[in-house]
A and B are shown apart, each in its own frame.
Chain A
Amino acid sequence: MQQKTRPIQRFAQAVSKCTAEASVYGKCIVADYNSVHKDKCVNEFMKLKNCYLAAAKGRK
């Protein structure tokens, strides 16, 4: 139906390679979700983001 992959689908595909990192980040947030502030889980997020960036690059 769609001629080419939409950006969000490429995004989703790359993120799907990073379930472990996403889970660690999610756990960090949810562990105490009443006191979430900026960059509370920045380390976990950067790992997730690096994984995503690597996965997005690797696909080309």
Chain B
Amino acid sequence: MPVSPPLSQKIGSLVAADSSETLLHRDADLPFNSELKLTRHVLADEETLPWDSNTFDMVLSSLSLHWINDLPGVLAQVNNILKPDAPFIGAMLGGDTLFELRTSLQLAEQERRGGISPHVSPLADTRDVGGLLGKAGFKMLTVDVEDIVVDYPDTFALMQDLQAMGEGNAVLGREMGAIGRDVLLANEGIYRELHGNEDGTIPATFRVIHMIGWKEGGDQPQPLKRGSGEVNLKDILEGQ
């Protein structure tokens, strides 16, 4: 087995940014902190990236973009702070994430309260993401989708998990008053009936949209013109 040095040795400088100071410093005591040049930056406003143009060799975003209201604006800023021909790699929750919870909560509210109000933030659709990246100036786009289905013992365990992920405000931020409790009680029965697994657990779907986009630059490879291919892919794939 070839031995390669830890990835941290290949990173000159890493800037970590989040609007939550607590989250940003959660792992500040772990050993890796001394092994790479890491700067933490608390964002005063998660929709404003306070860096100069052409600053970074790469920008990563892991499961936080779904909190952004102005996604096109933030993506354009990400494009701006990247150096030419540098990539943005991101993963965000989107599309049908938590569709089970949305549907059953809607039914529960409709039946208990006679109306519905949104409890799960609207999320970007998979097919929107390519367009958004393109509009923000990114080239050579890759967008892929992964559904992660997690089974929970009951809806309360799911909601506690969402809260622990920092994703719970919309659902649990409200007072657990008499009405809230009725809806949660109704929701437990409906969720199980509508989506429940045979073994008594309930599934929750997290749809992760993975994306890669490159800032335009230099002698970056360009996609070939449509119809300009000369080799049939089928010959290559079935050739050997």
Q: Which residues of A contact B (CB under 8 A)?
A: 6-9, 11-12, 15-16, 21-27, 29-30, 33, 36-41, 45, 48-49, 52
Taking the closest CB of chain B, its distance from the CB of A10, in whole angstroms, is 10
The residue in chain A whose Cβ has the minimal distance to the Cβ of B157 is A12
Q: Number of contact residues on B: which range applies?
A: 20 to 34
Q: Which residues of B contact A (CB under 8 A)?
A: 107-108, 110-114, 154, 156-157, 159-160, 172, 176, 181-182, 184-186, 188-194
Taking the closest CB of chain B, its distance from the CB of A5, in whole angstroms, is 12
The answer to whether B193 touches A49, judged by C-beta atoms less than 8 angstroms apart, is no
* Central interface residue in A8, A26, A29, A30, by most chain B CB within 10 Å: A26
Q: A11-B184, A12-B154, A33-B194 are in contact. Are A22 and B189 (CB under 8 A)?
A: yes
Question: How many pairs of A and B residues are in contact by the CB < 8 Å rule?
Answer: 80
The residue in chain B whose Cβ has the minimal distance to the Cβ of A45 is B186
The residue in chain B whose Cβ has the minimal distance to the Cβ of A31 is B193
- Which one of A9, A25, A30, A36 contacts B156 once the chains associate, using CB atoms below 8 Å? A9
The answer to whether A15 touches B188, judged by C-beta atoms less than 8 angstroms apart, is yes
Taking the closest CB of chain A, its distance from the CB of B159, in whole angstroms, is 7
Beyond A6-B160, A38-B113, 9 additional contacts (C-beta under 8 Å) are A7-B176, A8-B156, A8-B172, A15-B185, A29-B190, A36-B110, A40-B111, A45-B182, A48-B185
Measured CA separation A3–B176 after assembly (Å): 20
Measured CA separation A6–B191 after assembly (Å): 22
Taking the closest CB of chain B, its distance from the CB of A4, in whole angstroms, is 15
The answer to whether B107 touches A33, judged by C-beta atoms less than 8 angstroms apart, is yes
Interface of B is mostly: helix
The residue in chain A whose Cβ has the minimal distance to the Cβ of B156 is A12
CB-defined A-B contacts under 8 Å, sample of 23: A8-B156, A8-B159, A9-B156, A11-B176, A12-B157, A15-B156, A21-B189, A22-B185, A22-B189, A25-B186, A25-B189, A29-B108, A29-B194, A33-B194, A37-B114, A38-B110, A38-B111, A38-B112, A38-B113, A38-B114, A45-B185, A49-B182, A49-B185
Q: Which residues of B contact A45 (CB under 8 A)?
A: 111-112, 182, 185-186
The residue in chain B whose Cβ has the minimal distance to the Cβ of A15 is B188
The residue in chain B whose Cβ has the minimal distance to the Cβ of A27 is B193
Q: Which residues of A contact B176 (CB under 8 A)?
A: 7-8, 11
Q: Which residues of B contact A37 (CB under 8 A)?
A: 110-111, 114
Q: Which residues of A contact B191 (CB under 8 A)?
A: 26
The answer to whether B111 touches A30, judged by C-beta atoms less than 8 angstroms apart, is no
The answer to whether B160 touches A16, judged by C-beta atoms less than 8 angstroms apart, is no
Taking the closest CB of chain B, its distance from the CB of A15, in whole angstroms, is 6
The answer to whether A29 touches B112, judged by C-beta atoms less than 8 angstroms apart, is no
In the A-B complex, the 3 residue pairs with the closest CB atoms? A26-B193, A38-B114, A12-B156
Measured CA separation A23–B185 after assembly (Å): 11
Q: Which residues of B contact A11 (CB under 8 A)?
A: 156, 176, 181, 184
